[in-house]
Structure 1
Amino acid sequence: MLIHKIVLCHIEKLEVNKNIQSIYLILILILNLSCAENKESDKKADSAELAKISKTDTLKFTSGIRSIFQDSKGNYWFGSHSEGISRYNGKSFEYFTTKEGLQDNQIRSIQEDEEGIIWIVTARGVNAYNGDNMTSYSTEFNSPISDWNATTGDLWFYAGEEDGIYRFDGMNMNYLTFPKPKNTDPYNSFGVTGISKDKNGAIWIATYSALFSYDDEIVDIFEHKKLNLEDNESLHVRSILADSQGRIWIGNNGIGVILINGDSITHFSKEQGKLLPIDEFRLNTNKNQTAKNTGLQSVFAIEEDYKGNIWFGDRDSGAWKYDGKTLTNYQVDIKLKPQMIWSIYEDQNKNLLFGMNDGGIYKFNGRLFDKWF
C-alpha cells in the first residue's frame, strides 16, 4: 500500500501524461505479482518442510516402543520411550511430539473412548486427540480425592510418580489417592505402571510398590505380605493383566510373575523353575549382563491372545508363551541385544505385535517373529 501511495503521489505532482501513468501502473503490477509469488513460494516451502518432518514411509523410532494400539478406524498408534507418538494409516507414519502439544515425549499408554477420542498418557500428563486438536489435562493435584466412590468414569490414567491415579468423569480429571499399606517405606514409589479391567468390571492397578483393585465399592491392597513373598523378594511391579478366565497376572522386575487365581496366590515364575536366585540375578544385573537369558524374571509386558495363551515380555530373555500347561521361551530376533520387550498387543486381525527396546515392531507368525517395522 505504501508503494502505491508514493507512486500515485509522484504521478499527480508531475502531472505526467497518460503514457507515463501507464508505465507506472505496469511497474506496480509487476511489483505486486513478484511479492505474491514470493509469499506463495514461502508457503509451499514451509508446507513441504513440515510434511518432511511430520511424515515418513518407515517408522523412525529408536528409543523403544512402550505402547501399541489400533483405533476404531484401523489406524495403529505407536508410543515411544522418548520420541513421542506415531500414527500409521497403512501407508505412512505421522508423528506427534511436544511440538504438536504432547505434554511429554515418553508415552506410557494409549486408548480410545466411545466418541473416538484418542487418549495419550505421557510421563508428565494426559493428552486427548480428536483428530484435529490436541488437548492437555492438568497434572496439578490441588484437590486429591480419597473417597473413590465419590467419582465416576471408565477412563483411568497414570498420574506421574505420585501416590494416586487419574479418573476422568467426562468433564474433569479427578486425582484419586491410594490407600497405601501401613508402615510403608517412605522411599517406595506408587507410580502407576499398568491398568487392566477384569471380566467383572473391576479395575486392577499396578504400581511399583503394590497392587490395587477397585470394584466400584472397595479399594483392595495387595502388598508384600498378602502376595506371600519371601523377605528377600521385593515388589517392583511393571505390568498387569486380568485375563478372560478371571486370573490376575502380575509382572515384576526382579522376581518374575505372581499369579492370583481366585483365592489362590502363587509365585508362577518360581513354580515353573524360571527364576534365578535373587542374589545371582542382582549380581548379573549389576554387571549389565542379561541374567543368562534363561529366567522369566523382569516382565515388562503381559498379553492374552485370542486362543487364551498368556504372553510375557521379558527385559532380558525375550518372549514367553504359556498355553495353560507348557511355558515356552522365544528369541524375537537373534540380532537384538538385549531381547527386551516393552509392549505386547493383539490387533483387530488377531496379529500379535511386540514392541522392542530398539524401536522395532515384530509380528508373531505362529512359529517365528517377522520384523514389521
Structure 2
Amino acid sequence: MNIKIELIYLIFILTLNFSCSENKKSVKGADNSEFVRTLENDTLKFTSGIRAIFQDSKGNYWFGSHNEGVCNYDGKTFKYYTTNDGLQDNQIRSIQEDKNGIIWIVTARGVNSYHGGKLTSYTTEFNSPKLDWNTTTGNLWFYAGEEDGINRFDGINMNYLVFPKPDNIDPYNSFGVTGISTDKEERVWIATYSALFSYDGELVDVFGHEKLNLEENEQIHIRSVLADSKGRIWIGNNGIGVILKSGDSTIHFSKEKGKLIPMQEFKSNTQNGHTTKNIGLQSVFAIEEDNEGNIWFADRDSGVWKYNGESLTNFTIDEKLKSQMVWDIYLDKNKTLLFGMADGGVYKFNGQSFDKRF
C-alpha cells in the first residue's frame, strides 16, 4: 500500500515538474517574441525635425536632425552621434556615400566623414585661397555654411569655390547653398538663396531673374533643386513656388498650374492669435522623383504635392502633427518614398496615404 502511494506521489511530482517546465518554455518564448517586437517597433528619438535621409550601400539608414545630430539604423538598433562624439555641428544638412563606402555628413559648420566607426572632421574655411573651378577635381560637393561658394572634395583637400555672381544684384544677397543635384550628363546644379548655378566640368552658368523668366517683383529665394530622369530641372522657391527648366524652355510652373494662391490667415498660438500660411505650391523646400516618374514637392505650409505629368494632387502627411512641413523627401533602395518631417519622424507613402516608418 505504501509502495502504491509513493508511486502515485512520484508520478504527481513528475507531472507537475513537466508542466512547470512547459510553462517556463512558453513564457520564455513569449519574452523573446516581445523583445523582437520591441526592437522592430523602436522608433527614431529625434524631435527637432528630420532634415536629411540616406540609405547606404549596406542598406543602413542615416537620419540627420535639425539640431540633435545624426542617427544610424541598421535594421535593429538606432545609434546616435552628436558634437560630443565629434560632429562639427548638430544640425545636419545632407548625407551621402562615396565609392569607397565612406559616409559624408554635412553639418551647418563643417563636414564629417564616417568610416569604421570613426568620425573625421573637415573644416570648411571660407577665407581659404580662392581656387579656379577647373583646377579642382572630385565628385563630392558639400554645402556647409551660408556664404557665397561651395566646397568640392578631391579626396584629400576640401576646396572652396566662389560663385560668379549675376549682374546688378543686391550686395547683401546671400549665395548660401540650399540644394545640389546632378543630371544625366553629370552636370551639377547648385541652388542658392539668390540664384541657380550649373557646372559642366568646364563652365559655370548663372541663372538669375532674366534666365528664369521671372517678373521684377518675383523674388528669388531658392530652397531646392532636382534634375529628374527626363533631363528637366525643377527649382523650388520659398515664396514664388516652382520654376521648371526643360531644355531651352523655362516656365513658372506654380503660376501656370494656378497654385500661386494669396496667403490665408489662420488662428494660431502667436501673440496676436493669427498667422498667415500659403495653401498653394509656393514654399518648396524639397523635391524628389519616385519610381514611376512622378515628381513630389514638399511645401512648408501645405503638405506634399504629387505631379503625374498632367495634374497636381495635394496630400496631408498626418493631421495629428503640429506641422505638415517636410524637410526632405528620399527614395530608398526598395523604391519606397520617405518623408522627413519638421515635427520629427519619418513617414512612408503606401500608395494612397502615409504611415509612420521611423
What TM-score, normalized by structure 1, do the two folds share?
Answer: 0.81
Residue-by-residue CA offset, 1:279-299 (whole Å, 9 max, x unaligned): x479999953322xx200110
> Secondary structure in 1 aligned to 2:229?
coil
Counterpart contact for 1:58–1:92, Cα < 8 Å: no
Residue-by-residue CA offset, 1:130-167 (whole Å, 9 max, x unaligned): 03211111222343435201111000000311110000
1:57 CA drift (Å): 3.5
1:158 and 1:249 mapped to 2: Cα distance?
Answer: 19
Counterpart in the other structure of 2:316? 331
> Secondary structure in 2 aligned to 1:149?
helix
2:179 and 2:171 mapped to 1: Cα distance?
Answer: 22
> Secondary structure in 1 aligned to 2:57?
coil
1:116 and 1:146 mapped to 2: Cα distance?
Answer: 28
1:284 and 1:214 mapped to 2: Cα distance?
Answer: 45
Question: How does 1:69-108 map onto structure 2 within 5 Å?
Answer: 69-108=54-93
1:290 to 277, 280, 288: 277
2:247 to 248, 252, 262: 262
Summarize the Cα distance change of 1:88–1:367 in structure 2 as closer, same or farther, 3 Å threshold: same
1:79 and 1:248 mapped to 2: Cα distance?
Answer: 25
Counterpart in the other structure of 2:189? 204
Question: How does 1:11-30 map onto structure 2 within 5 Å?
Answer: none
Counterpart contact for 1:107–1:123, Cα < 8 Å: yes
The count of corresponding residues between Structure 1 and Structure 2 is 314
2:295 paired with 1:310: yes
2:217 to 229, 232, 239: 232
1:144 and 1:271 mapped to 2: Cα distance?
Answer: 44
Kindly name which structure, 1 or 2, has the bigger radius of gyration based on alpha carbons. Answer: 1
2:141 to 156, 168, 178: 156
Counterpart in the other structure of 1:217? 202
Counterpart contact for 1:144–1:177, Cα < 8 Å: no
2:286 paired with 1:301: yes
2:168 to 161, 165, 183: 183
1:337 CA drift (Å): 3.0
> Secondary structure in 2 aligned to 1:190?
coil
Residue-by-residue CA offset, 1:100-128 (whole Å, 9 max, x unaligned): 11000000000000111000000001000
Counterpart contact for 2:347–2:356, Cα < 8 Å: yes
Task: Specify the code of the residue in structure 1 equivalent to 2:322.
Answer: K
1:181 CA drift (Å): 1.0
> Secondary structure in 1 aligned to 2:53?
strand
Alignment gaps of 5+ in structure 1 = 1-55
Residue-by-residue CA offset, 1:308-348 (whole Å, 9 max, x unaligned): 11000111111111111111111111122321111000100
Counterpart in the other structure of 1:14? none
Task: Specify the code of the residue in structure 2 equivalent to 1:151.
Answer: T
Q: Which has the higher helix share?
A: 1
1:248 and 1:196 mapped to 2: Cα distance?
Answer: 9
Counterpart contact for 2:51–2:66, Cα < 8 Å: yes
Counterpart contact for 2:124–2:151, Cα < 8 Å: no
Question: How does 1:117-136 map onto structure 2 within 5 Å?
Answer: 117-136=102-121
1:363 CA drift (Å): 0.6
1:284 and 1:310 mapped to 2: Cα distance?
Answer: 32
1:343 and 1:129 mapped to 2: Cα distance?
Answer: 21
Task: Specify the code of the residue in structure 2 equivalent to 1:175.
Answer: Y
2:155 and 2:105 mapped to 1: Cα distance?
Answer: 16
Counterpart contact for 2:63–2:70, Cα < 8 Å: yes
1:150 and 1:366 mapped to 2: Cα distance?
Answer: 46
State percent identity of aligned pairs.
Answer: 73
Counterpart contact for 1:154–1:167, Cα < 8 Å: yes
2:339 and 2:296 mapped to 1: Cα distance?
Answer: 10
1:175 and 1:352 mapped to 2: Cα distance?
Answer: 33
Counterpart in the other structure of 1:43? none
Counterpart in the other structure of 1:7? none
What TM-score, normalized by structure 2, do the two folds share?
Answer: 0.85
1:140 and 1:282 mapped to 2: Cα distance?
Answer: 43
Counterpart contact for 1:211–1:222, Cα < 8 Å: yes
Residue-by-residue CA offset, 1:158-195 (whole Å, 9 max, x unaligned): 03111100000011100000001122212111010000
